[in-house]
Amino acid sequence: MLRLVGRPAPVTTALITINALIFAYGILSNSQHDIIARYGFIPNELFRDTNSPLSDSLLRLFTSMFIHANIAHIAFNLFALAYMGGFAERSIGVPRFITLYIAAGLGGALLHGVVSSYALSSGDSILIGASGAISGILGVSAALGDIRGYYWLAIQVLYVFIGSFASLTIAFMAHVGGFVTGLFLTKLMIEIERRKRMGRFDIFPT
């Protein structure tokens, strides 16, 4: 069980467990390559291939968030989730945490897909990993005033920079898209809550 400061963070713990189990299954069953090929997100199938079923592309958008390429990939992602997820989950509650996690994952993958398909001509490459979703959680934390969210984003940028020299293919725009999605949606949520509270105390002079 993941040990976190404060109240338990069951969703964060569950996400870490699910990602780890999927990775372990792929490695132990020697089916990792097949899992990546079948469930990874391929941008061109969504944005350019009119013959590709839309439902299949949308499913891949979701399933790609739970697949990782290697130990280093999953270790970095799950460490970031373990470090920041508990704070975000306890701060905004389970339903919102789940919603923002998925929204950030989709947002990150879509931004990566648009850039890959229309700007970089690399839309046939498969996108996998929870980086977009986890970057969204960093955005949630940053929007809630935890400066560690920005620190982790800086670390991810550094990781991408180093990876470019080590010939590692890292989907930088998925990180950025996820972070911005989490940050924006959380700030929007905060503003909506603020307006609701103000509405409860409206004064109507007679």
Separation of alpha carbons 175 and 132, rounded Å: 5
**pLDDT score of 130 more than 60:** yes
- Could you report the per-residue pLDDT of 53-107, keeping only the tens digit for each? 899 999 999 999 999 999 988 998 999 899 889 989 999 999 999 999 999 999 9
Residue type, 194: R
Q: What is the pLDDT of residue 102?
A: 97
Whether 131 is catalytic is yes
The CATH number of the structural domain formed by 10-194 is 1.20.1540.10
- Joined together, the tokens standing for residue 48 give 């350019």
Catalytic residue among 131, 135, 164, 167: 131
Domain boundaries, the chain: 10-194
Q: What is the pLDDT of residue 161?
A: 66
From the list 205, 189, 71, the residue with the least C-alpha distance to 197 is: 189
- Joined together, the tokens standing for residue 25 give 């299954």
| Three-state DSSP state, 41 | strand
Helix (H) or strand (E) holding 11, with range, is: helix 10-28
